[in-house]
Structure formats: structure tokens, C-alpha cells
Amino acid sequence: MHFRRFFLDKMRRLWLHHNPKDIIIFVITMIALIYVSGIIFSRGSEDDDHGTTGLSEVSKRPRFIVELGFNCSAIYDMEPVEVNKCLVARKKRYVGPTDKNFVNATFDCNRFVASKGYDAKQGSEFEREFPLAYTLVVHKNADLVERLLRAIYMSHNVYCIHYDLKSSDDFKSAMQGLALCLPNVFIASKLEWVQYAGISRLKADLNCLSDLLESEVKWKYVINLCGQDFPLRTNAQLVSDLKMLKGRNMVESQRPGGKEWRWRFQHVFKNRVFYNYQLPITTYWHKSPPPHNIEMFVGSAYFTVSREFVLFAQSSFARDFLLWSEDTYSPDEHFWATLVRVPGAPGEVLRTDPDITELQSKTRLVKWSYLEGILYPPCTGEHVRSVCVYGAAELSWLLNYGHWFANKVDPDIDPILIECLEENLLGKQVGSNKTLK
């Protein structure tokens, strides 16, 4: 209405002054302004529609424990009827939000943050005095990544997301949307084209660690995760356990056994038949010994380490070791395990100390098919490349073993397990009596 009044008043003044040239210029200018404002209005409406639609689709995530009437406490107690119901539920196909849904949902950050409850995750004074950092090296399934992020999220912690440069455009945009909406979440400043068993996987974590050291958040410990991890403890429980470490690290570190070939020979990446990506090939070229007379140990790519240890991992000593490791096989599985044994390293584990196995290192609980029945009970989900993707019948075992994170989880294989883990965490955070342990 104000625009119309302005337009007519201006036209009347120009006409009274009998200046046709000025009238023509003014009309053309107004047409251009109307066109531009139309585009802006249209774009704003489009974004608003995207945000509303995206949030709607994201909120439609199936809730099987509600829809099918599951009782997580009964599953935890291994009641046969309830456990058998879980097997039946697996036949119902899980259809979660798409990557594009998350792209659209994060158009409106305020609504997204409120709808997901991120704004309510403030933590206690006890937790805020001991901030944590996380690296998330991910490559697909924004739905599962967001569930993981929300489960570990606290407003005072800090989170670095590294997505694979091979990831889909929608997945990358979804991760960027999460980082845009949450001020303490960011994308790694340097991204890698991650290759299986190559140095790029290790560099992805190192890139995030370098960025985290620049963060204003003075975190005490950092934990690295992948997209199929899920927490078994609340943030408060983690802080309590980490304080008890008193500067030590939680890293698997064992004698090499039969794995010396991984670094005694150079490895090169080549295309293999039946694969559409490159894999490391062992050559017959012997490598020189590791620098600085380093004694080699093996372990996991996943760790919980102190801020002081991360600073050590950025030192010239560690960089020499990293450079030497570039043409080894799966350097992420010996880099951390070896560094933690270096004399004088923060939180050092003595070279003469016994092996620290994956069951002793609390960071991550993994079931390998070839150790089932020996070290732990059989997998009740499905195996993917010798690793168990957990089923709901493992709920009690997971929560009682004492580890901090479970790997692997996947709602496509068993949606009930993740929902029960989410319910348990939420119950503990709000002081509910619905907790399982």
C-alpha cells in the first residue's frame, strides 16, 4: 500500500513538471525494482516452504517402539516375547528422512534447533567445567549422523565434521546445514578424498584435530567417531569417567603380532578388478625403519585423547612419523597406538606395559565375527565385513560392558536398538525412571 502511494505521488509530480524523459526513467526503474523484489520474495517463500517441508519430513522418522508397542526395559531384560517381536520388526523396512530432507530442514535454523531439542542441551555446571571435543568422519546417511550428533550434543562442547569429498552433494549440504544451525559445530577447514586403508583416513581426523585446537572452546579430551557409532553413556557419565583418567588417554595399543607387513613394505593405490575405487597394494619394496627409533604398536583408528596429547600429535616428531606412514597400510591403526607409547608423550603408556586390547580400551565396543563365542556372545544383528551391526537383543550387553560408544548401529538392520539407546540416554538426562541401567 505504501509503495503504491509513493508510485502515484511521484508520477503526479513528474507529470505536473511536464518532464516525459524523467517519467520514462522512473517507470523503468520501478519495473526493475518490482521484478527484483519479486525474486527476493519468491526466494524467501521458497526457502520458507523448503524449511517447513524439510522439518515435516525429518519429524516423520519412524518410531517403532511407539508404533509397534515395544518395551525397551523388557528387551533389556531379555524377555523372550519382546525379543522375538524385535526380529519381526526387522521385516518392516525402515524409511528415514533423506539427505535432501535435512538440507531443506536446515533452511530455518531456529525451527530446526527447537524441533530437535538442541537448544535444551545445556548440561550441568559439572559438565560445563569439563568441555569435550569430537571429530565425526562421515560420508553418507545424514539421518544417522544427525541422530549421533544429537545424542552427544551439548552447547558447551565443540564438534568438527569431516565429510568425504566423494560424498553426494545432498549429504555435503546436509552437513553444512547442521554446521550453519549449530554454533559449536563446524566443517573441517581441509577435506580429504578418503581412501580405504590409506593415509587420507588418518588425515581426516588430524585436520579436524588441528581445527579443534584453534577453537575458543578449551576442551579437555577429544573423541573421534564415525557415522555408525552411537553413545552408550551420557555426557555427564563420560565427563565423570574422563576425569578419572587424570590426563591419561584411552587408546588401544598392542604388539604388532603378524601385522609388520603393513609398514615393512611400501603400499601404492591401484584400481582393482570388480571395484570402482582404489585399494592399497602391497609392493616388494622395503621401507626404511620408522624415524626417531620409534617402536611400532597396533590398535584402532578410534581413540579418546587429552588436549595435551593432541598438541604432541602436531609436533615435528609426530609429523615425521606421519610422513613416514604415508605409504603404509592402514596407518590410522598404528599411528595412535604407537604415539601413545612414545617415551615422554602426554599420558604415556610405557613400552613395557601389557597390551591394551580393544576390550580394555573403553572408547568403542566392536564385535568381530571371528571372536564371537570366544570374547563375546554371538551377533544378533547382521555382519558387514566381519563386523557385527548390532541387534536389539544385544542391548543389555552393550549397556553393561562398560564402553562409551557402540559400533556398528544401523536402523536399516535393526531400528529398535537405536531407539532404545536414545530412550535410555534421554531418561538419564532428564532424571526419568525409564532408564535401563
Residues acting as catalytic residues: 333
Q: Where are the alpha helices (DSSP H) in 125-217?
A: 125-128, 142-152, 169-181, 199-213
C-alpha cell belonging to residue 337: 597406538
Radius of gyration of the chain (CA): 27
Q: Rounded to whole angstroms, what are the CA distances from 225 to 204, 208, 240?
A: 11, 12, 20
Say how far apart CA 437 and CA 421 lie, in whole Å: 11
104 contacts 60 by C-beta, under 8 angstroms = no
Say how far apart CA 407 and CA 230 lie, in whole Å: 7
382 contacts 389 by C-beta, under 8 angstroms = yes
Q: Rounded to whole angstroms, what are the CA distances from 80 to 90, 191, 376, 378, 399?
A: 16, 47, 20, 17, 19
Q: Which residue has the cell 556372545?
A: 377
CA angle 310, 312, 316 (to 5 degrees): 125
Other CB atoms within 10 Å distance of the CB of residue 255:
13
C-alpha cell belonging to residue 7: 508510485
